[in-house]
Structures are given as C-alpha cells and as structure tokens.
Chain A
Amino acid sequence: MSDQHERRTPVSLTGLREDDPHLQPAARNPRLVERVIALTFLLGLALVVGFGASYWVNATPWILGATLGGGLFFLGVGLVAWGKYLMARGPFVEERHTLASSEADREAFVAAIVERGGGVVKRRKVLGGLLGGGLGAFGIVALFPLLRSLGPLPKGTLFHTDWRAGSYAVDQTGRRIHVTDLAVGSIVTVFPEGTQNTDRGQAVDQTVLIRLSNENFTTQKGRESWGPMGYIAYSKLCTHLGCPVGLYEQQLQLLVCPCHQSMFNVNNGAIPEFGPAPRPLPQLPLYIDAAGYIRSQSDYNQPVGPGFWERS
C-alpha cells in the first residue's frame, strides 16, 4: 500500500535514479502491449500505403477516405498507446513560479513609461499635439478609400425595380406571357422583358404571376384595375430577408417563404398571415394589351424586399 502510495506521489523530472518507479512504463505487461502496438502500426502502415495505391489507380472517394482515415487512425491509436503505456508513467511535478515581477521592477518600468514618455510630451506640447493631430487625421482619411471604394452609394437603387409602364412580363426563358397561358390556380415567375438573364433581374425584379380567376380580380381597395382577367402579380422577394417566396399553397391561397416560413395571402394583397415578415408583398399593377400579352402598368409603388433604414 505505501509502496503504491509512493509511486503515485508526483516527483520532479530531474535527479531521478534510473530504476525509479516513475520512469517505468505504466503497462503491467510491456511485451504484450508492445506487440499490440506493433500490430496497429502495421495496420496503419498498410492502410496508408493502400491510400497511395488507391490514389494511383484513381479509386472512388470512399476507398481513398477509408484507407487514409483508417491508416492515420491506427497510427494515432498506436502512438497514443505507446505514450500512455510504454513511456515513463510519472506522475511528474513542476513548480509554478509567480509571473509577476518584483515591486521595484514594476515601478521602474512604469516610471520609464510615464516619466520618459510623459516628459517628452509635456515639454513639447505643441509638437505632440501636431503629431497626434496629423496621425489622427491620417487615420480618418485612410478610412475613406478603404470604405468608399468598396462599392457605389445606394442612392435610389433600392426603391426601384426594372418594371416600367408597359414592360412585358416574360418567363425565365424570355417568352412573353399571353393571357391564355395560365390556367386558373397556376403560377409562374416573371421578369420585365430584357432582365430575365441579368443578376439584377433575377435578384430584384423577380415577380410571381398567379391566375386567380377568369374575371378581373381585386385584391385590395384602390387596386381594382391591377388584376385583369384574374392575373395577379406580387414581388417574389420576401419582405423579411429577401428569399424568393417560392412555394404556392394553392388550396390555402398562400405564398410561403421556405427560409423562415412567412406566409402571404394572395387574395387580399399578400398580407402576411404567419411568420416574421412584417409587410405585404408589393403588388405589381398589370394590364393586358390588345395582342393579349401581360404587361405592367408601372413600377411597384413601394420598395420590394426586406426593410432598410431609408424606407419610409
């Protein structure tokens, strides 16, 4: 018991006799452990070589990963076991010395900073002030190119889309939508003609066109002429974070945003019925021209997409 106790007492690394129990391996049967470790090393070596071979013959990724991963894993297990069972078992102890300096050293250091530095600045106040002012000004003006060059000013770009009076609604392939194209209850994503392949068209102008009936459809008061022949168009950008409102629940007449589950009722002007979206989807006023194509009366009457500071 006391012998065991002595072994468990931490000792310093230096000045140990070679036969000190702390320097002996932890394993009770080192020969056996050695053999097991040799086996894992062999396995690891074989797998690592196997990785090389399977890379050479361009094997499938899972064979590459299995050989590489397995090889490293077995080498690692063997090495950990070597360290744990066959090396000096310890425990060893090391003293912790206080990191803090002596009072005198500390005071000398502070004195050097305050007196030398302070002395310089105090004696040459004007110089110090001018230098500080110059460097401070540089710090501020250096920010201008760093920030301002990064991008254009927002200006009014967030307030408008590319829909104009008379824009043809086209689908992603550029085909104009004709009044006979949609059956009641169907939906298509449209863009103002000419933008369907542009970044801006896809990111800002995207609009859902839904046919709700065969008659003119009014979603809200004052929008009596916006839904000819039951064609209704809403901005496809969720007013929460701008994800495309891509899911249409036909039976519930809801447009659903798959990102955070905001739901908009298409019958009453896309007022949000559920979820974190704060505003209805803006509605695009439509008309049908003499040839039967769906066109916009004007741009949206408010900014599309998520909220921002300048939006009223």
Chain B
Amino acid sequence: MSDALVTKRSRKQAKGRYGVIGKAVDELDERLGVAKGGRGFLDKIFPDHWSFMLGEIALYSFVILLATGVFLSFYYIPSSAIVTYHGSYLPLDGQSMTASFASTVNLSFAVRAGLLMRQMHHWAADIFIGSMVVHMARVFFTGAFRKPRELNWTVGVTLLTLAIVNGFLGYSLPDDLVSGTGIRIAYSIILSVPVVGTYLAFFIFGGNFPGTAVIPRFFILHVLIVPGIMLALVVAHMVLMVRQKHTQFPGEGKTESNVVGSPLFPVFLAKTTGFMLIVTGVTALLGAFAQINPIWQFGPYDAARISYAVQPDWYMGFLDGALRIFPSWSFHSFGHTIPFEVTIPAVIFPGLVFGLAYAWPAIERRVTKDNAMHNLLDRPSSRPKRTAAGAAVLAAMSMLFIASSTDVIANFFHVSLNTVLWSMRVLVLISPFVAYPIAYKIASEMNATRGAGRRKTVNVVTRTEEGEYVATPAPAYADDVAHDLAPTPVPDFIEVTPPEQPPSDGVRTIDR
C-alpha cells in the first residue's frame, strides 16, 4: 500500500464514525454493557415547570456546602484548648480563647478567600434548608408525595431533619459567644428529657457543660457522619426519582402514563448546569456583599457572659419561639422534676411536627381511601382540604418563627414584652384556625369557578345578514388547554364537587 492512500478521509474511517468517543464507548460497553441503559438515560425526559427547580436549588446548595466545607476544614481546628490570639484581627489580640474560635477568626482574616468561603458556607446552609422547606411545600401542595412516591417523601423529611441538625452543629463550631449560648440551650434541652435526660446530656457532652469533648464531637458529626448519611440519602432521593420518573402537571398530551418535557441530554443538562452556576454565583454574591455571622464581633464564648438579642439561625427560629412563649409549667412530684416548660416546646412539639410530616402520606391515604398511582400533580386548589391543612401548619410555624424575636419586636414597636408575649401566644394558637378556613374557602371557590386561573377568552361578535349581532366565544388559547384536563378524580365525599354550571358560563352574550 502506498503512502498516497493514507488520506485524511481514510484515517477518519479507520477511527470509526464517531472517533475517540465512539472508541471509548465501544471499550466500555464490551466490558460493562453501558450503551443501552446509557442511551435511555440520555433520553430521559424532564418535565419543565419552575417549581421543579426548588429541589435543584437544594441539591446545588448541598454541593456548595460540600465544596466550601472542605475548604474550611483545612483551616479550622476543632479543639477547646485555650490559646492566646495573636493574629491579624487586632481588637482580639492577646485575648485567650479556644483554638476553634481562634482558628475561625484566623481563617476569616488571614486565609486568602477564607472569609468569602466561610460566608458562602453559612449562606448556602441557610439557602439549603430554605429551599428544602419550599420544595417540601411544593411536593405537599401538589400531592407529589402520593403513591408511588411515599418512600421518597420519607427520605426527604429525613434529609430536612438532618440538615437542621447539621446546621445547628456547624453553627456551634466557631465557639463564639452566640453559638456557645446555643450549645448551652441544647444541653439544657437534652437535660430536660424525663428519666434519661441527665445521662444523655453527660454522654453527649462527655460530662457537665461545657467540657472539652463537645467541639471535637460536634466537628466529626458535622463534617463526616451527618453529611455522609445525607449524601447517601440525596443519592437515594435522586435514584428513586429517576426510577419512578417525574410527576408532571396535567396539560396537553400529558397523561398518567407518560412524561412530557425536555431530554436529559443536552437540553436539561444545559439548563440545570446553568442553574447550578447561577445558584453558586448568587451564593458567592451574598457571601461577598451580605455579612453573616460576624463572630469576631461577638467574641469568644464565655459561659458567664451573654449578648442582647440572641437568636439562632432562621431554621431554629420556630423552636426558640416555642421555648419563649411556652408557660412555665414545671412538674415536681415524687422526688422528680419534669421540666415541661422545656420538654413540651423543645422535645415533644418538634417530635410531633416531624412525626406528622412523616405520617402525612399514610394519613391522607387512610382518609381518602385513594390507593391509585398518581403521576399527574394536583393544582392546590383542587384539593381544598389538603391545601388548607398545609396552610394551617405553615401559619402556626411562621407565628412561632416570629415569636423567636419577641424582645426585638417589643423594642422596635415600643410595646411591653408582656403584650408581645401574649399576642404571640394567641397568634400561634389561633393562626391555624384562621388559616384553615381562609385557604379552604379560596381553594374551593377557585375550584368551583369555571375558568379561574385561566386567561379570559374574548367573544367574537359577528353581524348576520339580517343585521343581528351574535357573540360567540373565541377558541381557548393553546396554552390554556392544559387546564381543561381534570386531575385524577377522588371519591366525592372527600372533596367538594364544583356546582353544576351551564355550559356557556364565562361567556357573556350581550343582548341588544
């Protein structure tokens, strides 16, 4: 064979039609058999709806937390050993403090990009839990947790619980004045558990408060054990979602037995990767421009000192609010004390709230006797009772959150603390009973009104040859056809049925 025959074209043919990538896939497929499943995965359809991005925010915040957390762990020293600070932050120079506080100040001021990473980490944690809560609300109000997705709901609630726990642990690690007070409160809450409380507290803290064991223990829980479990659960959450496929809102061509949207590769991948960059970018901008947790202003933890307006991170707010407004009902008898003023708001109440979240799919199934598979989502208005129940819980939790700043409110509005306290007690108790009927009424009215939530269609007025004007409704907008598809019916006794309406309702015929 002469050299003349080795042309560009013949070389290309020798490589095969798809070049290097084709070759790599060949090699991989011969060994692992990836081609068929891989193709199916690239073709996987992701439905488009803005509310499906809430879970993505949570996922990408988690990724940011892992990345910035790794950076922080290179400089943070998890130790309660007392050191004397001689660093670049002069106001604290010469003060004695724990190594964990000193190293946190140090990584904020002496490590390049350290402060940015720390603030991004803290912001990402707040955004992570926030987006999880909103994502959970979306799943709840649209009924996405129904069969067959109850298990994934359970995984999600567990993730939220672990995220709150890990947020608290991480918040405690700098060992500053505010977080140290938080640890003290956590210790006292554990102490309040009947019968085993003291033992639990002593085992977790390695002795009486504060001890030197708690910072190293919180550290390893915060950076390895809890995130390890969470990572496994996040993977499980994704695998279950891929296996069971997405839910989708009813609409043109969308049925219980298909998924309509964009394919994973390349459309969804481009969009979601772009979205990840946006979430990271926004977190970095927040870290740059919005100061969060300036521990050097609080100073190192000193059990005998405290600052005014002590508040935890937002996701602990409902607990703090509950502790503030609960009456001082301590129980003493038979030589024992049960500090109900702590046990009820800080142990039993959150247990009930999360227990309710875990149990909700089962409760709803029992009440509705609805055992069918659901892949099409509900509009919140088409399930007034569920929507109202969710609104009631959110209302009470929001009131508890507000109750976590009774002192700030009293100061700001110049009212007595007593007034604020009693207002919050009343608001927490009545808000669910106000929210429920309002949400129920709005939802069922929307449900009963034909055309609610739809663009109004115009009347086309034509003049007949006799000179008579006739109004006929114009065809619906193509986008709005979606709304005509009814969600999966449930038995009549559960939900209100829309009243019978004349077919021409929504179109006014003008008689002249």
> Could you tell me which A residues sit within 8 Å of B by CB distance?
4-5, 8-10, 13-14, 55, 58, 61-66, 68-84, 87-88, 90-96, 99, 147-148, 150-154, 157-158, 172, 189, 191, 199-200, 202-204, 206, 236, 240-244, 246-247, 258-262, 272, 274-279, 305-312
Q: Is B112 an interface residue (CB 8 A)?
A: yes
Whether the Cβ atoms of A311 and B262 lie closer than 8 Å is no
A contact residues around B267 at 8 Å (CB): 83, 87-88, 90
Whether the Cβ atoms of A75 and B44 lie closer than 8 Å is no
A contact residues around B112 at 8 Å (CB): 55, 58
Q: Is B235 an interface residue (CB 8 A)?
A: no
Whether the Cβ atoms of A236 and B275 lie closer than 8 Å is no
Whether the Cβ atoms of A82 and B258 lie closer than 8 Å is no
Q: Is B140 an interface residue (CB 8 A)?
A: no
Q: Is B67 an interface residue (CB 8 A)?
A: no
Whether the Cβ atoms of B204 and A308 lie closer than 8 Å is no
Whether the Cβ atoms of A258 and B337 lie closer than 8 Å is no
A contact residues around B181 at 8 Å (CB): 243, 259
A contact residues around B467 at 8 Å (CB): none
B contact residues around A69 at 8 Å (CB): 280-288
Inter-chain CA distance A9–B325, complex, in Å, is 56
Q: Is B34 an interface residue (CB 8 A)?
A: no
- 9 pairs of A and B residues whose beta carbons are closest in the complex: A65-B288, A76-B277, A73-B281, A79-B274, A83-B270, A69-B284, A278-B330, A307-B339, A80-B274
In the complex with contacts A90-B267, A151-B205, A309-B195, A78-B323 CB distance below 8 A: no
Q: In whole Å, how far is A121's beta carbon from the nearest beta carbon of chain B?
A: 28
Q: Is B207 an interface residue (CB 8 A)?
A: yes
Q: In whole Å, how far is B307's beta carbon from the nearest beta carbon of chain A?
A: 7
Stretch of B153-161, B184-192, B353-361, B380-388 that contacts chain A: B184-192
Whether the Cβ atoms of A92 and B45 lie closer than 8 Å is yes
Whether the Cβ atoms of A8 and B191 lie closer than 8 Å is no
Whether the Cβ atoms of A259 and B306 lie closer than 8 Å is yes
Q: Which of B276, B303, B339 is within 8 Å of A199, CB to CB?
A: B303
Inter-chain CA distance A2–B275, complex, in Å, is 34
Whether the Cβ atoms of A244 and B328 lie closer than 8 Å is no
Whether the Cβ atoms of A82 and B270 lie closer than 8 Å is yes
Inter-chain CA distance A312–B332, complex, in Å, is 7
Q: In whole Å, how far is A52's beta carbon from the nearest beta carbon of chain B?
A: 11
Closest Cβ neighbor of A204 among chain B residues: B208
A contact residues around B335 at 8 Å (CB): 312
Closest Cβ neighbor of A279 among chain B residues: B330
Whether the Cβ atoms of B324 and A157 lie closer than 8 Å is no
In the complex with contacts A69-B288, A204-B208, A64-B113 CB distance below 8 A: yes
Whether the Cβ atoms of A94 and B198 lie closer than 8 Å is no
Inter-chain CA distance A260–B243, complex, in Å, is 47
A-B contact list, 18 entries, CB within 8 Å? A62-B289, A64-B113, A65-B119, A69-B283, A69-B288, A73-B281, A73-B282, A74-B281, A76-B274, A79-B273, A83-B268, A94-B258, A202-B303, A240-B342, A258-B309, A260-B320, A278-B341, A307-B330
Q: Is B252 an interface residue (CB 8 A)?
A: yes
In the complex with contacts A64-B116, A92-B45, A306-B192 CB distance below 8 A: yes
Known: A72-B284, A154-B202. 4 other contacts (CB 8 A): A9-B253, A61-B116, A72-B277, A87-B270
Inter-chain CA distance A148–B273, complex, in Å, is 48
Inter-chain CA distance A243–B312, complex, in Å, is 14
B contact residues around A9 at 8 Å (CB): 252-253
B contact residues around A242 at 8 Å (CB): 184-185, 187-188, 209
B contact residues around A4 at 8 Å (CB): 478
Best-buried of A153, A240, A277 by chain B (most CB within 10 Å): A240
In the complex with contacts A70-B285, A243-B306, A307-B207 CB distance below 8 A: no
Q: Which of B199, B278, B304 is within 8 Å of A202, CB to CB?
A: B304
Q: Mark B413-445, 1 if CB is under 8 A from A, else 0.
A: 000011001000000000000000000000000
Q: Is B194 an interface residue (CB 8 A)?
A: yes
In the complex with contacts A99-B148, A259-B181, A244-B191 CB distance below 8 A: no
Whether the Cβ atoms of B113 and A61 lie closer than 8 Å is yes
Inter-chain CA distance A182–B441, complex, in Å, is 64
Best-buried of B188, B195, B286, B335 by chain A (most CB within 10 Å): B188
Inter-chain CA distance A63–B417, complex, in Å, is 42
Q: Is B266 an interface residue (CB 8 A)?
A: yes
Q: Which of A61, A96, A203 is within 8 Å of B245, CB to CB?
A: A96
In the complex with contacts A151-B213, A203-B209, A309-B194 CB distance below 8 A: yes
Q: Is B495 an interface residue (CB 8 A)?
A: no
Closest Cβ neighbor of B375 among chain A residues: A96
Closest Cβ neighbor of B256 among chain A residues: A96
In the complex with contacts A84-B271, A311-B337, A99-B262 CB distance below 8 A: no
Q: Is B326 an interface residue (CB 8 A)?
A: yes
Q: Is B126 an interface residue (CB 8 A)?
A: no
Q: Which of A63, A241, A246 is within 8 Å of B342, CB to CB?
A: A241
Q: Is B293 an interface residue (CB 8 A)?
A: no
Closest Cβ neighbor of A97 among chain B residues: B257
A contact residues around B278 at 8 Å (CB): 72-73, 76-77, 80
Closest Cβ neighbor of A65 among chain B residues: B288
Whether the Cβ atoms of A308 and B417 lie closer than 8 Å is no
Q: In whole Å, how far is A277's beta carbon from the nearest beta carbon of chain B?
A: 6
B contact residues around A77 at 8 Å (CB): 274, 278
Inter-chain CA distance A72–B14, complex, in Å, is 41
Inter-chain CA distance A63–B191, complex, in Å, is 46
Inter-chain CA distance A261–B337, complex, in Å, is 22
Q: Is B162 an interface residue (CB 8 A)?
A: no
In the complex with contacts A64-B113, A243-B185, A309-B406 CB distance below 8 A: no
Whether the Cβ atoms of B308 and A258 lie closer than 8 Å is yes
B contact residues around A236 at 8 Å (CB): 304
Q: In whole Å, how far is A87's beta carbon from the nearest beta carbon of chain B?
A: 5
Inter-chain CA distance A206–B324, complex, in Å, is 23
In the complex with contacts A84-B271, A306-B342, A241-B252 CB distance below 8 A: no
B contact residues around A14 at 8 Å (CB): 43
Q: Is B498 an interface residue (CB 8 A)?
A: no
Inter-chain CA distance A199–B266, complex, in Å, is 59
Inter-chain CA distance A152–B209, complex, in Å, is 12
Inter-chain CA distance A78–B275, complex, in Å, is 10
